[in-house]
Structures are given as C-alpha cells and as structure tokens.
C-alpha cells in the first residue's frame, strides 16, 4: 500500500502549487478614486505638512499654491461630507497666497493657524514631516 501513496502525494503537491501559485503574489488593486475618507486624509496631510513647514521658507506663496491647486477642482474629487471644509481651506489658503506674493504679511502666523484648525476637522492622522530650514 505504501507504493501507491507517492502518486497521491504528487497529485496533492501539484494541486497545492496550482491553487496557490508558485511565484510572488501581487496585492489586489484598490481603487481609492472614489474614497472620500482616503481623499480627506490625503488633503489633511498635504495641508498640515505645508502649514508646518511654511514657517521656515522664504517663499510661502509657492507652498500655499500647492494647497490652492489641489483644492481648485473639487467637482472631480470624492469630497463626501467634507466639501465645505475643503472650500474653507481653499478660500483661506488662496487669500493668504495672494497676500504672500511679496513676502509674509502681518498676521501670517495667525492665518496659518486658522488654516491648520480647519484642516484638523478632516479625518485621518497624517504623519507630519518637518523639513530643514531653507533660508
């Protein structure tokens, strides 16, 4: 009876390899293009990283432009229940960007704090990366 177990073992091994595959498996594609929570977390990260690092750069208008551009076409983004928050951030960032064209205006820190407070209404806990001073 032991002579017949080897072909059975071979068949089982073949079935396992065929079922699981022999090479590395790829992760399944996840379409986040309609995920309002993922979009909110991403935008929160962008805004908080920008507002944290804007304090150390000479050209704050350029940094704010990134936020303004990212939030300029909300009609094609999965905004979900956070549309008003994005619009508020866009309005504040755009106004400050315009005022920063010639350098940091009076009240700059307070306006950055206001943008940060609005962004903190969004879901997510992004990692804030501090950049070295670019002066």
pLDDT in tens, 63-85: 999 999 999 989 889 999 999 99
The answer to whether residue 100 sits within a structural domain is yes
Per the listing, tokens 């905004």 go with: 79
| Number of domains the chain contains | 1
The answer to whether residue 19 sits within a structural domain is no
The answer to whether residue 29 sits within a structural domain is no
The answer to whether residue 54 sits within a structural domain is yes
The answer to whether residue 56 sits within a structural domain is yes
Could you tell me the residue range of the domain that residue 79 belongs to? 36-119
Residue 104 pLDDT greater than 80, yes or no? yes
Distances from the Cα of 105 to the Cαs of 27, 96, 98, 101, in angstroms?
A: 48, 8, 10, 9
The answer to whether residue 20 sits within a structural domain is no
Q: Give the rounded distance of the alpha carbon of 117 from its chain centre.
A: 18
Whole-model pTM: value is 0.73
Residue 1 pLDDT greater than 60, yes or no? no
Q: Does residue 25 contact residue 107 with C-beta atoms inside 8 Å?
A: no
The answer to whether residue 85 sits within a structural domain is yes
């Amino acid at each position: 009876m032991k002579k017949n177990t080897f072909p059975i073992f071979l068949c089982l091994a073949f079935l396992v390899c065929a079922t699981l595959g022999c090479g590395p498996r790829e992760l399944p594609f996840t379409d986040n293009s309609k995920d309002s929570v993922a979009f909110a977390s991403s935008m929160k990260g962008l805004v908080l990283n920008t507002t944290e690092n804007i304090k150390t750069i000479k050209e704050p208008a350029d940094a704010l432009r990134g936020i303004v551009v990212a939030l300029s076409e909300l009609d094609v983004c999965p905004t979900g229940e956070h549309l008003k928050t994005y619009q508020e951030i866009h309005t504040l960032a755009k106004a400050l960007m315009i005022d920063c064209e010639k350098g940091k205006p009076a009240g700059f820190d307070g306006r950055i704090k206001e943008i940060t407070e609005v962004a903190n209404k969004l879901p997510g806990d992004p990692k804030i990366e501090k950049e070295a001073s670019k002066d």
